[in-house]
Each structure stands twice: as C-alpha cells, then as structure tokens.
Amino acid sequence: MRALTAMLVLLAAPWATAQELAAARPLVVVKDATLRLGDVFAGAGPNAGLAIGASPLPGRRLVLEMPQLAALARAHGLSWRPLSPRERVVVERPGRAVPREEIEAALLADLVRLGMEPTAELELGPLLPPMVPPAAIVQVATEGVSFDPASGRFAATLVVMADGMATLRQRLGGHAAPTLPALIATRRLPIGHIVGPGDLREVRLRAERVRSGSAERPDQVIGQQLHRPLVADAVFLTADLGPPTLVERNALVTMVLEAPGISLTVQGRALDAAPQGGLVTVMNLASRTVVEGEVVGPGRVRIAMGATPVSR
C-alpha cells in the first residue's frame, strides 16, 4: 500500500510543475494606462497585479518580443519557456478619435476673439486625430493661438485631457476661409418646376464657390419656376428663376374682353408663354385675329376693348 502511494505522488509531481508554468498571452487588450504582469503572462501567480510599465496610448499597440518576455519572466521569478524563438505578445489599447468638430469648436472662440469672422470655415492642415480612451470624459482646449486676419492663417496648440491618459498637446495650423449664405437643391429638379420649401436647403459655402447672382434667401426661390434643370446640391441662381408660367405656348385660353359695363369671353390660342401679369399674344379662334393681352390667371388673358391687332 505504501509503495502504491509513493508511486502516485511521483506521477503527480510533474503535473503539478506543469501547472505552475506561466504562458505568454499572444494578444492582450488593456483598458488602463498601466500594463501589469498578469496582462502579459497567464499563470503569473501572486505577482499578476504588479505594474511592469505603461500601456500603449489609446488606439495604439505595443509588441513585446521574446527577449523582452524572457527578461520579464526572470525578473519576476516566473517559470516560462518560449514556444518558439519568434514568440511575442501584442498589447493593444482601444481608443476613439476626438471628433474634428470638437477640435474646431475649441479653436473657434479664440480665433473669433483675434478677429476671425464667426462664419468662416476652418481648414485644418494635415491632422492626425488625437486618440482617447473610448468611455473617457474628454476636455478639449487650445493655447498659444495666433491669427493673421489678412491671410486667414492661424496656429495653435491643441490640449486634450481625458481620464486614463496623460494630457496630450498637439500643434495645429490652418486657414480660415470666408463663407457666404447660399441655397442648394435637396434633389434633382426638372426645368419648369415650381420650387417649394422642401426643394432647398440653406447653407454657407466658401466664398470662392458662390457665383455672383446666387440666391441667398428662401423668399427669392420659393414659388419661382426653374428655367433650367438643377442637380442635387446645385446652387440656386436668381437668373435661372422666374414667376410661374400660367399660360403655356399653344395652349387654349379664355380671352376676356372688358370695357365699362361689358365683359365678353371667347376662346383663343396663346402664341407665347407668360406668367401672372405678363403680356402674351393670343389668336382669337373665331376671327383668327391676333391681339396682345395680360395674363390674369391660369389660362385666362384679359384683352382691352378695341385692342390693336398684332401682325405675326
């Protein structure tokens, strides 16, 4: 019986030793700014929570090659054997980019204070967005801001503060471009279309993109008729708009002949197109006489009594 017990102890000893061997983790995802022994090695034992260095910056990665892993294992008394000479550990830290809009908002107040128009469009130079921990509360500010009103050039230092990372400072530079109000089409609009409120959107565009004669206010566009088609996002030009046509060329119309105490109607054919209040030549279908009248409504043309015939 004693011999059997001794044999079981001998068989169990190698298994217990194998259980105590540490293993390097091929891929590690950390959330904290501190990298710990247990992040890199499984089976690190009581020293698992020991800090061994800084984690990568948010959104970055750190690679620990086999010699570094061996040095860490020796320094902390871990029983670790590499599986191959190329064994390594990749440490990644999640991050999110600070939105460009937040960076521009931080710049705006200082630039306006230095003379920039509040409606200017900020054109930042090459920008590598700062990365912060995904769930961290972030504060964005600027310092050392300079602005040249003549050229529109600006420079500043961006300051990003977030939980779980050191304060980050990054140099910025760019140009402030003046903008002008404009109206653009929300969809493709055909020729002859009467523009409604849903057909346009108010925007501000860089001044060099706004042509002379561009419409600036909705009242310049709504209710007007297009003289040429527009594609989506095209700018409305006042030259391409006019009052809606109430009488179409070659359409049948009602000719209203008016005089004091007299009102007669006769059918005619419009020889031109015209809007409300416009003048149009009309042929009396009964007499074949061509006269000029004023459009007073859809398909209605008022003819002054005794109007002189028009030669065509």
Q: What is the mean pLDDT of the chain?
A: 89
Does 56 fall in a domain? yes
- Residue pLDDT, tens place only, 43-69: 999 999 999 999 999 999 999 999 999
Band (306; pLDDT cuts 50, 70, 90): confident
Q: pLDDT for 75-99, tens place per residue?
A: 999 999 998 889 999 999 999 999 9
Instruction: Please state, in angstroms and as integers, the Cα–Cα distance from residue 275 to each residue in 7, 243, 281, following that order.
Output: 111, 6, 13
How many Å separate Cα 254 from the centre of its chain? 53
Same domain, 73 and 132: no
CATH value at residue 292? 2.30.30.760
| Parent domain of 33 | 18-92
Please provide residue 111's backbone torsions phi and psi, each rounded to the nearest 5 degrees.
-70, -40
249 occurs within a structural domain: yes
Domains identified in the chain, total number: 4
Contacts of 78 (CB under 8 A, 6+ apart): 22, 37, 41, 43, 44, 45, 47, 72
Where a domain ends, among 59, 75, 92? 92
CA 104 to each of CA 125, 143, 149, 245: distance values in angstroms, whole numbers, following the listed order: 12, 13, 18, 46
In a domain, residue 208? The reply is: yes
Three-state SS for 123? strand
SS3 266: strand
Edge-first strand order for the sheet with 168-177 is 121-124, 168-177, 153-162, 138-147
Together in a domain, 106 and 173: yes
Choosing from 139, 154, 177, the residue where a domain stops is 177
Based on the fold, state whether residues 22 and 75 are members of the same structural domain.
yes
Q: Are residues 170 and 107 in the same domain?
A: yes
The reported pLDDT for the residue numbered 1 is 36
CA 36 to each of CA 46, 92, 243: distance values in angstroms, whole numbers, following the listed order: 12, 13, 75
For position 312, what pLDDT does the model report? 63
Are residue 196 and residue 237 in the same domain, yes or no?
A: yes
Q: Are 44 and 22 within 8 A, CB to CB? A: yes
Is residue 13 in some structural domain?
no
User: Is 309 part of a structural domain of the chain?
Assistant: no
pTM, rounded to two decimals = 0.60
Could you tell me if residue 217 is inside a domain?
A: yes
60 part of a folded domain: yes
28 and 76 belong to one structural domain:
yes
In a domain, 8, yes or no: no
Residues 76 and 107 in one domain: no
Domain boundary among 57, 92, 127: 92
